[in-house]
Amino acid sequence: MDFSKTAQELGSATGVTDLIEAASELDFEDVLGMIGLERRPSALGRMLPALGLIAVSAAVGAGIALLLAPTSGTRLRAKLSDGIDDAKHRLSDRISHLETGITTKHSRHAVS
């Protein structure tokens, strides 16, 4: 019996087991990183920061436009107050509409 051949086979079997275990812990990003590659970002991933910047810029621009508007402070505050009140009413109407729809769906499922 050749002990060196048996030891070598046993060592390679253990090595293969360790290799399989190590490979199962790798994910695709790790493999790409090993060969010097990376995933290309999706179109949505590239567009979201730009859209966020546009939204923030629009809000800042609107705020500056309101501050520099040629109307008097009293009229401007009244317009802003009316706009905020209108938005509150529309939001509360939308919430009550959604709540009604949810309770209707819930009651239909309970009956079924």
81 in any annotated domain: yes
Q: Tell me: pLDDT of 14 over 70.
A: no
18 in any annotated domain: yes
Domain count, the chain: 2
100 in any annotated domain: yes
Query: Residue 101, Cβ neighbours under 10 Å: how many?
Result: 10
43 in any annotated domain: no
> Which of 41, 38, 11 is closest to 27 using CA atoms?
38
61 in any annotated domain: no
pLDDT tens digits for range 25-76? 778 888 788 888 888 878 888 888 899 999 999 999 988 887 787 777 788 7
* Coil, strand or helix at 95: helix
48 in any annotated domain: no
Domain that holds residue 101: 72-112
pLDDT tens digits for range 71-112? 777 887 888 888 889 999 999 999 988 888 777 776 665 555
17 in any annotated domain: yes
